[in-house]
Structure 1
Amino acid sequence: MSILSTDSVRERLEATFWERHANPWSAGTRILVYPVFMYAIYRRDAKLFAATLAFITVNPVLFPRPKRTDNYLSRIVLAEREWLDEGKGTMGLDYPNVLNVLNIPVTFYAFAAAIRRKPVGTLLGTLGVMAIKLWWTDAIVKETGVTGEGPADIPTVSDDSVAE
């Protein structure tokens, strides 16, 4: 990349963030870390809590850029990027953003149950948060029509269009 590139440093960092976060390992582990986070709260385990927060922080850039993005977990991330780039936000009374609004009280319920060490409430709240979040991500995948790229879709050095 040229030093005189028209892209700003911020734009390049954002592109790198989203490209790496589109790795299915990034998206998948980010989904699965929420129950660990809630367990850390429930158990009052400060080390697990800190480790979980650290993992959540570095997760989007921890994994390399994927070779293909035509899998469901990558499409979730690509759809979220497109959704946000279109200025549609994540909160609102319109569908599907209303799902994130509805997730606020469910999240508070899950946290309250974990803090009070109510195992059934913690479990139900955690599952509720995850289900609503996945419902929202599935909805934006459908709304944006993101399909991702398979190996045949990604330009290679041997492609004539790239070589010229």
Structure 2
Amino acid sequence: MTLGKRIASAFRMDDDTWERHANPWSVWSRTTALPALILAAWSRVWIGWWALVPGIIALLWTWLNPRIFGKPTSLDSWASKCVLGERIWINRDEEPVPERHRLAPNLLNAVAGIGNLVVIWSVVQLEVWPTIFGAALAYAGKLWFLDRMVWLYEDMKDATPEYRAWQSQTVADRAT
């Protein structure tokens, strides 16, 4: 089982949740999670143990985000295709992805992971510039990864009946 599949499982991402997460509002608003977590951790300086409250709220936001938005009426946006590509990427054990799509996503996830490690270290040390650098590295890796997921989706959207079904649902089906 891939790490992505484990994370999706931990977040209880079922088909309905994935469909809702394909809403561009879900994709773009989820980018607020890292700054919220950074601010919550940094706030320990000002509010002590009460910093756990905004930290828990930020973590809750990451779980709630893919659930609170409605299903998109169209899957034509870049953000929607990112989510569909992520689903394909996570499913690569069952349905292999083309060779040209295997290396870059792993490297970009590593870049994002290193950025997150820098953020954690910097926030613990209360270092502003390394925190900003780490967050920029994390976002660069993640957003570039998402761009690769659009490419993966475009290359594989007809590879299986399941992937084809994502495109063939009617607008009315998605709106319900």
TM-score (norm 2): 0.69
Unpaired segments of 5 or more residues in structure 2? 1-12, 45-50, 158-167
Q: What is residue 140 of structure 1 aligned with on the other side?
A: 149
Greater Rg over alpha carbons, structure: 1
Distance change in 2, residues 1:155/1:144 (3 Å): closer
Cα distance, 1:95 vs structure 2 = 2.0
Q: What is residue 150 of structure 1 aligned with on the other side?
A: none
What stretches of structure 1 move > 3 A for 4+ residues in a row? none
Identity of aligned residues (%): 27
Q: What is residue 23 of structure 2 aligned with on the other side?
A: 23
Alignment of 1:59-138 (within 5 A): 59-87=65-93, 94-138=103-147
Provide the rounded CA distance (Å) in 1 between the counterparts of 2:171 and 2:36.
40
What is the identity, as a one-letter code, of the residue corresponding to 1:109?
A: V
Number of residues of Structure 1 aligned to a counterpart in Structure 2: 139
Distance change in 2, residues 1:117/1:144 (3 Å): same
Unpaired segments of 5 or more residues in structure 1? 1-12, 148-152, 158-164
Q: What is residue 40 of structure 1 aligned with on the other side?
A: 40
Q: What is residue 155 of structure 1 aligned with on the other side?
A: 170
TM-score (norm 1): 0.74
* Bigger helix fraction: 2
Distance change in 2, residues 1:156/1:49 (3 Å): closer
C-alpha contact 1:38 1:126 (8 A) present in aligned 2: no
Provide the rounded CA distance (Å) in 2 between the counterparts of 1:40 and 1:56.
14
